[in-house]
Amino acid sequence: MIDLIILDFDGVILESVSAKTKAFSKLFSGEKPEDLRKIIDYHLKNGGMPRFDKFRHIYTEILDKELTEEKMKELSESFEKIVKNEVINSPFVSGAEEFLSGITGKIPLYVVSATPQDEIREIVKEKGINRYFRGVFGSPETKASHIRKILEDTGAKPENTVFIGDAKNDWKAAVDNRIRFIGRVCDKIPDTITGLPDVEKIVEDMKDFEMYIKAYML
């Protein structure tokens, strides 16, 4: 039985992972080539992590520079300007639109993203899909914390709750709350999920996901 579905956003609803990668490349284009490669590699290996945490790691571990509050604000504002329209213009993951329109009213849907909360809500609204979700949540609060609050507010049982994500950080948020995890793995995004324990199913896109969960809706 499935009573509740929680979805990551980038790489699950929209094919927007590459938009984030391009934004990091542009934001740090003035750095040395070897540092830029390390930055992009870190970004790709840590999908589902808030950009603020990535900025801190990049500055302290890669660039060896001080990251002041003022600089963090500047980075965040610049990143949002670069990335927001790129994400909005990104195509849907195959089957995502059909899944959202078909499942609405049958199973409650929530979005839990690492994107800043105001920004992800604006993107969802601009994309015209806000009507499908009971709630849309983002950083700075963690995914695990959002999931815990959703479970508390809805009374849904962890064993009847599914989180679909495309990164190890998504998996960890699911494991921390003892809910079921389904991972999206495809050639468009780095695979950080295959081989992890407690992954119920791996799907290529939202068509696969919909086919899988239909068995629990009969």
Nearest to 19 by CA among 100, 144, 109, 115: 115
CA-nearest of 60, 82, 61, 87 to 71 is 60
Q: Both 59 and 164 in a single domain?
A: no
Instruction: Mark whether 98 and 82 lie in a shared domain.
Output: no
**Residues 182, 104 share a domain:** yes
Q: Which domain holds residue 205?
A: 4-16+91-214
Q: What is the reported pLDDT for 47?
A: 87
Longest Cα separation, the chain: 56
Is pLDDT of 124 > 90? yes
Cα dihedral angle (91, 95, 101, 102), rounded to 10 degrees? 180
> Which residue, of 88, 118, 144, is where some domain finishes?
88
Residues of the chain above pLDDT 90, percent = 93
CATH of the domain at 204: 3.40.50.1000
Is the CB of residue 123 less than 8 Å from the CB of residue 88?
Answer: yes
The mean predicted confidence, pLDDT, of the chain is 95
Instruction: Give the domain-ending residue among 38, 71, 88.
Output: 88
**Segment 194-205 mean pLDDT:** 97
- The residue from 36, 59, 88 where one domain ends is 88
- Distance, in Å, from the CA atom of 198 to the CA atom of 179, rounded to the nearest integer, reads 10
Going by pLDDT thresholds of 50, 70 and 90, the confidence category of residue 214 is confident
Q: Do 122 and 66 reside in the same domain of the chain?
A: no
Of 48 and 208, which is predicted with more confidence? 208
Is 184 found in the same domain as 76? no
151-175: pLDDT as tens digits: 999 999 999 999 999 999 999 999 9
Q: What pLDDT was estimated at residue 216?
A: 76
Q: Is residue 215 over pLDDT 90? A: no
143 and 48: one domain? no
* 80 and 132 together in one domain: no
CA distance 161 to 179: 6
Q: Is the pLDDT of residue 218 over 80?
A: no
Asked if residue 213 has pLDDT above 60, the reply is yes
Quote the CA–CA distance of 88 and 182 in Å, as a whole number.
Answer: 24
The CB-side HSE value for 199 (13 A sphere, CA atoms) comes to: 22
Q: How far apart are CA 161 and CA 55, in angstroms?
A: 32
Q: Do 126 and 43 belong together in one domain?
A: no
Task: Tell me: do 129 and 45 sit in the same domain.
Answer: no
Report, as an integer, the average pLDDT of 108-112: 98
**How many independent structural domains does the chain possess?**
2
Looking at the fold, whether 156 and 201 belong to one and the same domain comes out as yes
Whether residue 196 is found in the same domain as residue 109: yes
Quote the pLDDT of residue 190: 84
**CA–CA dist 71, 78 (Å, integer):** 10
The 10 Å Cβ neighbour count of residue 128 is 9
Residues 98 and 147 in one domain: yes
> Looking at the predicted structure, is the pLDDT value of residue 140 above 70?
yes
Model confidence pLDDT, tens digit, residues 5-47: 999 999 999 999 999 999 999 999 999 999 999 999 999 999 8
Q: Which residues contact 127 (CB under 8 A, 6 or more apart)?
A: 14, 88
